[in-house]
Amino acid sequence: MTRVADLFAAVDCGTNSTRLLIGDGGQAVERLMRITRLGQGVDSSGRLAPEAVARVVSVLEEFRRAIDDHGVVGVRATATSAARDASNRDEFFDAAEAVLGVRPELLTGLEEGRLSFAGGTAELDPAEGPFLVVDIGGGSTEFVIGTTEADSALSCDIGCVRLSEQWIEHDPPLPEELLACLSVVEAHIDDVVREMPEVGGARTLVGLAGTVSCAAAVEIGLAEYDRSRIHHFRLSRDAVEDVFRTLAMESRAERLENPGMEEERADVIIAGLSILVKVMRQLGFSECLVSESDILDGLVAEMAAGPENFLHSG
């Protein structure tokens, strides 16, 4: 059967993971995700580590094969928090461009938030808005509010990798390490409330990215990833608190015994959950709607909307 719609590819080189979406703006044909930890040590060194760059480039080579196999007509690649913080990002961009044929776009936190909102709310009923979209990344967390489009956005330098590297040294974490994470997150949420007072009017909390998906998978008890069961799953605050409390008391090895826990995420999930827990506590949300659509979906939708929004891969 011949496809009528053109296919587009979006690649996101994040702090913790590198991901690919191939689709036509309405339907996803292929999604790939690899934990690559591009942001390894960048918070302390200010540079992308050579081994981290090598991991990402290896994955991009895999993604390029998938892109070629599907015959996509346009490609966009983005880089976010880790690259924003790294003095040697251009070296990484050179290597990525050599593989993909397009140069990664260095998104600001606000641009990242706008695209995450577009992807995360595309399938939602506006009647459930205003939406507060919280995208918990490896190096930053974006807070975006709006109904049919993003009205306000703020990017905070808290993420599962950044907080883990800064505050968690023991396995399992010491109580004072958990308190440090929660206190740092609380201060940033205070900033969000001060700079975006409209968050108080949000009706629906939408959670994006691996921390939120992993929490849902552990709560459900998914032995294998199943997007259809996680996408638009409603995580109660009690469930989030329970998952956080349980995992925080376990060693990394014990965490891996929980169905739904990804091996590569086990060492940063506690810091990530500290963000989700504090968002729900401080902002008064009783549940979080999990969305598996995010910045990649926003990028593909933009490309599908017009040729001025993408580059051809070479």
Q: Looking at the predicted structure, is the pLDDT value of residue 27 above 60?
A: yes
User: What does the mean pLDDT of the chain come to?
Assistant: 94
Residue 203 lies in a domain: yes
Is the bond leading into 172 cis (omega within 30 degrees of zero)?
yes
User: Phi and psi dihedrals of 153, rounded to 5?
Assistant: -150, 150
pLDDT at 110: 86
pLDDT for the residue numbered 81: 86
Q: What CATH number is associated with residue 71? A: 3.30.420.40
Which CATH number fits the domain that encloses residue 260? 3.30.420.150
pLDDT value, residue 306: 78
* 176 part of a folded domain: yes
Q: Does 217 lie in the same domain as 69?
A: no
Q: What is the dihedral sign for C-alpha 181, 141, 152, 237? A: negative
Residue 167 lies in a domain: yes
Same domain, 208 and 281: yes
Span 146-169, mean pLDDT?
A: 95
Please give the Cα distance from 55 to 50 (Å, whole number): 9
> Residue 116 domain-assigned?
no
Is residue 170 domain-shared with residue 270, that is, in the same domain? yes
Say yes or no: 140 and 99 in one domain: no
Tell whether 286 is covered by a domain.
yes
How far is C-alpha 56 from the geometric centre of its chain's CA atoms?
A: 16
Q: Which of 277, 297, 279 is nearest to 120 (CA)?
A: 297
Residue 310 is predicted with a pLDDT of 55
Same domain flag for 212 and 100: no
74 falls within a domain: yes
Q: What is the model's pLDDT at position 309? A: 54
- Both 194 and 148 in a single domain? yes
Place of tokens 């009528």: 4
Q: Quick one: 147 and 285 in the same domain?
A: yes
**Number of domains forming the structure of the chain:** 2
- Give me 262's structure tokens: 């990804």
Q: Domain check: are 16 and 102 in the same one? A: yes
- Domain shared by 130 and 224, yes or no: yes
Q: Considering the entire predicted model, what is its pTM?
A: 0.92
In a domain, 189, yes or no: yes
Same domain, 153 and 89: no
Tell me the per-residue pLDDT of 51-106, one tens digit each, with 9 for 90 and over: 999 999 999 999 999 999 999 999 999 998 889 989 999 999 999 999 999 999 99
Same domain, 133 and 95: no
Q: Report yes or no on 115 lying in a domain.
A: no
The count of C-alpha atoms lying within 13 angstroms of the C-alpha of 159, restricted to the half-sphere facing its C-beta, is 30
Give the distance from CA 7 to its chain's centroid. Answer: 23
The model's pLDDT over 194-228, given as tens digits with 9 standing for 90+, comes to 999 999 999 999 999 999 999 999 999 999 999 99
Give the domain range for residue 224. Answer: 124-290
Q: Percent of the chain, pLDDT > 90? A: 89
Q: Are residues 63 and 131 in the same domain?
A: no
Q: Using the predicted structure, report yes or no on whether residue 43 has a pLDDT greater than 90.
A: no
